[in-house]
Amino acid sequence: MKNIGLDKILGRVEDLDSVNLGILVQRLARERKLQETIFNTIQDGILVIDDDGVVQYANDAASGIIGLKQNDIGVIRLWKMVPDLARSIDPQSDTEARSPVLTRELELFYPEHRYVRLYMMPIDAQVSQTDSGGYVVVLSDVTEDKVSMEELLESERTGSIVGLAAGVAHELGNPLNSLTIHLQLIERKLNKILSGKNSSQLNESIEVCQGEVKRLDGIITHFLEAVRPQKPELNELDLTKLVEDVLRVQEAELVDRKLGVNMEVAESIPKILGDRGQIKQVFFNIVKNAMEAMQAGGSLRINARCDDEYVYVQFIDSGVGISEENLSKVFQAYHSTKQEGHGLGMIIVQRIMRAHGGHVGIESSEGDGTAITLQFPQKHRRARLLEEQAPVSDQTNASG
């Protein structure tokens, strides 16, 4: 029987006997099950809310996007659960939200960080049998497109200045080398000609000059490391062993600063594919930053764990933390809250992690320390990434 037949039956439902009513209920249940199956195959999230914002229906995709549980249906108000979403769809929040159709892009942080395009349309009151009819909300996850576009723009912006920046750094390096050589010659000649108090004062001035030249040379070196692409040389690496190697190098400074280190490693951490020198540089930069952020008696916790796709190494310090204002600037060039910092350490960390197909996450608040999480793809995932990124010519040569 077609839906038109079902409409006729529903139109005279009061005339049905118990047997036919039972058949109708079973048929309606099958129709509902079919509709739920269809809606749950749709990748976009679909919500139905009433005029008070209570969620009356959510397909599987919508539940995943905003973190709804089954027992939340019919109970929870959407704008109480997701405040950022509420500002866009609460009919009582602003005049714009009362318009017949609303389209907006949102950034959500729970249950995970993602970008969502929202489309909302009111339901006809006659259909929903309520005073207002409620609303249908469609949520499309556009995180991948958004992140890909941001990375593309950043790559283009970085690429446009790398050539110029490297050239400028090279041109600065030449006179600095010349200054270093001539300062050494001046120092030797002065030591032969002068003696006593005058010699001592001149030597101090020369040492200051040499120190500044060395500092400028260090800035240029770090700058080139930050902007010049360096393709990693991939080998099997044991990340926990690399962390231990870095801690041994920094052990004397940790002891001198009276800082404790506690390392916790989950069972069976798999090896990854990576460049030993570059990954050690990542660990060194992060541990160095943590040491400089802590006072005597502070502690650094290092946790290593994994799931089916990634290996995670987290560094948690008990330092001064980072203010909300400065947290957004951590990956900006030459931003540093330290008096002698060059502000390129975290940029180098980010560049190396991206070159390895990984990610850097940072959480911090002023006075509560900082947690930095490094996410490395496991070998099987890294191999897939390399295959996907292989140039067409390489794939053709391999097949031939």
Q: How far is CA 309 from the centre of its chain?
A: 16
Mean pLDDT of 34-62: 86
* pLDDT score of 197: 56
The tally of CA atoms less than 13 A away on the side-chain side of residue 278 is: 23
Q: Is 60 exceeded by the pLDDT of residue 319?
A: yes
Say how far apart CA 265 and CA 269 lie, in whole Å: 8
| 187-191, 217-221, 366-370, 394-398 — most confident range | 366-370
* pLDDT score of 398: 36
Higher-confidence position of 91 and 399 = 91
CATH of domain 44-141: 3.30.450.20
State phi, psi for 349 to the nearest 5 degrees: -60, -50
| Contact (CB, 8 A) for 254 and 216 | no
* pLDDT score of 386: 57
Rg value, the chain, Cα: 31
Higher-confidence position of 220 and 353 = 353
232: three-class secondary structure by DSSP: coil
DSSP string, 29-50: HHHHHHHHHHHHH-SSEEEEE-
Neighbour count for residue 378 (Cβ, 10 Å): 17
End-to-end CA distance of the chain: 59
Mean pLDDT of 335-354: 67
Per-residue model confidence as pLDDT tens digits over 241-260: 999 999 998 898 999 999 99
Say how far apart CA 372 and CA 364 lie, in whole Å: 9
* pLDDT score of 244: 93
The tally of CA atoms less than 13 A away on the side-chain side of residue 57 is: 14
For domain 235-388, give the CATH superfamily: Histidine kinase-like ATPase, C-terminal domain (3.30.565.10)
Nearest alpha-carbon partner for 65 in 54, 76, 78: 78
pTM above 0.75, yes or no: no
Higher-confidence position of 125 and 216 = 216
Choose the CATH number for 147-227 among 1.10.10, 1.10.287, 1.10.357, 1.10.390.
1.10.287
Mean pLDDT of all residues belonging to the chain:
76
